[in-house]
Structure 1
């Protein structure tokens, strides 16, 4: 079986497990603990919101226990200059809460502040080989995106660190896109090998399942990947006027008739998708309404729909910005909870490994 066939088989298996998870969430989410998060690199944009944040709020509302990781150590995996990490963490917390994450129902923590979590790296590293780490396609893409030729040790072990993030709290649901499946599979392998090698076959760590997202990818306004460094984003914290000006400059094409055709008209289709996600109407229906009125009408309609959708989030965000002390108190409360769980997990791991003296 070639690599492509193996990849398809792995994806099909992950998809089946994901569909079973969705059924359990709908019927009885008890026993499910979701672990997901973001690198704190500043405020979030609409790609983050429509791609992940909305789904997290959905799962939280459905009753799935929610753990959100502020992955501050990951900021230094591939960057020479990290900037104002504390300021970026504050921006991330603001967007989380403004978008609907409820600090009374979610545990939000920074993994640099949870020592026992990071100590799990040592036994976990004993369970993987160097070639396994080097083959991880996500690590390769991160290296390429950073424009580096040599891989640092932290980036090489990034999948193991992610496994520690998930397993320390016994997370069993990890919302991801298809490109992140190799990380989840590595975590499953580490959990399985720990159970076999150190726990005598005992079901100590649960192998987590990926909850595959069907959220569409939102392109940047220039047609490339949405990225703050490219300046092609619409940030959640922008004003309505700033949003309208950004979208007015969005790349489209010269055809007057507006149609939804992602393969042949990606920029026009991207604006239609943003309008669709903002209104709940299909992009095809919106395209039919605009007809031959051209890209100018499309941009106005998209900006108005997006601004209306984001208005309550932006109002809440403005309130939260006035009280950074509250934001960091939410984080500290989550860190305290994470440390309790991590300490208990590490103590059990040491006991299982025969390292309690």
Structure 2
């Protein structure tokens, strides 16, 4: 509740003075973004940028290997992420992008990859000295991945995943990090590292600022009723065709009750479809349920198919326009990488100065 109240206060401050804030967020390039990403994070990034908040977007290519042996088609996945970002309305640094126009933020988003910013990754070393192995092992994501490994050895990179995330956030001085409730422990680890660095090396001054959480919006379930995930095969990709989207939604799990009601606890699958339609139409799930009434799951799914395809139609059209613009995509990433390098180099110098490591 305290996190929710503080997030609401921050949202109000963002609306009053967006230019004073910088946001860091991003994705691992492990596959196509889906509807859950869009409503959980991507649309919010666009909203914040258009309000005037400076946005840093990390394509976390190094994090691909935290829990897998190979990176897969990382080059192709990075390209797909860029397409999704730009098609959704993110305006990149140094360009007008497909998201420019009335209401767009004046500052282009800095879109960059981990592997292109050496100074960011160098920050991981001093940050590792500020957190214990026991604290890392207690991190919920690390614990969950270790449990899911089924006896397989935990990689050092996965164990230190929270520290790498801290470097992502602290290198650019992000004030705000959009997260879900389940990611709050990661942000608290970042705040802990910043606080300990300041205590150890700051001589009473805040060398590194402690970021705060903007709690993300609704979490959508996948077609099987579990959390929507790229790896679970239960997601609706943003790049899917309209027919493909219809097939996926028609396969979604519901229940045997004829009358449609919005009861997230008792009827999570039906309620998830209602929420999806509401997000796409800017209505309420309760009103949509009332309109469908005794129409059953068939009527509900037909309505959701129409709502999702209608909502994503402009995004998909922009995506098709950009799909052959390889030079533009390379320029966007090159500009973002260069800007992130400059910021990371300055932060690393500041950290080294505080630690007495300037020679």
TM-score bin, normalised by smaller chain: over 0.9
The 5-angstrom pairing of residues 113-132 of structure 1 reads 113-132=116-135
Structure 1 residue 230, shift from structure 2 partner: 2.8
Q: 2:81 aligns with which of 92, 116, 126?
A: 92
Aligned partners of 2:338 and 2:151: how far apart in 1? 36
Structure 1 residue 245, shift from structure 2 partner: 1.4
Aligned partners of 1:137 and 1:175: how far apart in 2? 18
Secondary structure in structure 1 of the residue aligned to 2:19: coil
The 5-angstrom pairing of residues 176-215 of structure 1 reads 176-213=179-216, 215=217
Tell me which residue corresponds to 1:156: 159
Tell me which residue corresponds to 1:65: 54
Aligned partners of 2:335 and 2:146: how far apart in 1? 34
Measured against aligned partners, the alpha-carbon deviations of 1:248-291 in whole angstroms (never above 9, x if no partner) come to 12111222111111112111111111111100111111111111
Deviates more, 1:321-330 or 1:102-111: 321-330
Tell me which residue corresponds to 2:18: 29
Measured against aligned partners, the alpha-carbon deviations of 1:35-79 in whole angstroms (never above 9, x if no partner) come to 000101121010100111111111111111100010111100010
Tell me which residue corresponds to 2:64: 75
CA contact (8 A) 2:31 2:230 kept: no
CA contact (8 A) 2:32 2:230 kept: no
Secondary structure in structure 1 of the residue aligned to 2:231: helix
Name segments (4+ residues, structure 1) moved above 4 Å. 145-148
Secondary structure in structure 1 of the residue aligned to 2:221: coil
Tell me which residue corresponds to 2:234: 232
Aligned partners of 2:15 and 2:125: how far apart in 1? 37
Measured against aligned partners, the alpha-carbon deviations of 1:214-247 in whole angstroms (never above 9, x if no partner) come to x221111111221233322111001111111111
Aligned partners of 2:255 and 2:168: how far apart in 1? 44
Deviates more, 1:332-341 or 1:230-239: 230-239
Change (3 A) 1:148 1:19: farther
Q: Unaligned regions of 5+ residues in structure 1, if any?
A: 1-10
Aligned partners of 1:129 and 1:77: how far apart in 2? 19
RMSD, aligned CA:
1.3
Aligned partners of 2:333 and 2:148: how far apart in 1? 30
The 5-angstrom pairing of residues 311-322 of structure 1 reads 311-322=313-324
Q: 2:45 aligns with which of 46, 51, 56?
A: 56
CA contact (8 A) 1:350 1:356 kept: yes
> So what's the TM-score if we normalise by structure 1?
0.94
Q: May I ask how many residue pairs the two structures share in their alignment?
A: 345
